[in-house]
Amino acid sequence: MRSRRSISDIVAVVLLIVIAIAAAVIIYMWLSGLIGSVHTTTSATQVKLEITGANVTETIETASGSNYGSYTAYATVYNPPDSPSTSITLGELEFTNGTMICSTNNVSPASSSSSTTVTPNGSSIIKFNCTGPAASSGPVEVVLVTSQGVQVSYTTSITITS
């Protein structure tokens, strides 16, 4: 009787050791894959871009009975010191409820001294033009999307010109 009890204790200890080693290997493989992907590319979680100001002007065009607006948006973008260099690839104009007014991937610097790539601790003025349905002078969101897929937005109002 005594010998059977000691064998079951040994089997239990061996099983616990095997389970612990298997768990350690799985955790190591998961962490090495996760850490490897974070260090090889710029992660979207590292980008901390901010829009510090924006303005939107709309020129209403009435063509063939339907109202369309031609929008020009300017956004001042700041990149904090602890964020990597990033470039702006897409500009969107949305109502505050999330409904898209217009979108373009033709973003450009507002002046020759700025760039669509914003360096750490740097700022730039980004400009984009797009056409969409005519909007009222209410609040809209200027949304910029970086090359890493990070979206930043700023709420402002539309200035209507004729």
- Is residue 76 located within the same domain as residue 116? yes
- Is residue 68 located within the same domain as residue 16? no
CA 161 – CA 7 distance, rounded (Å): 89
Q: Taking the model in full, what pTM does it have? A: 0.68
CA 115 – CA 109 distance, rounded (Å): 5
- Is residue 132 located within the same domain as residue 104? yes
The pLDDT of residue 128 is 92
Q: Is residue 87 scored above 90 in pLDDT?
A: no
Residue with tokens 């992660």: 43
- Is residue 148 located within the same domain as residue 106? yes
Burial-class residue 109 by CB neighbours within 10 Å (0-12, 13-18, 19+): middle
Domain that holds residue 23: 1-40
Identify whether the C-beta of residue 116 lies closer than 8 Å to the C-beta of residue 107. Answer: yes
For residues 140-147, average pLDDT: 90
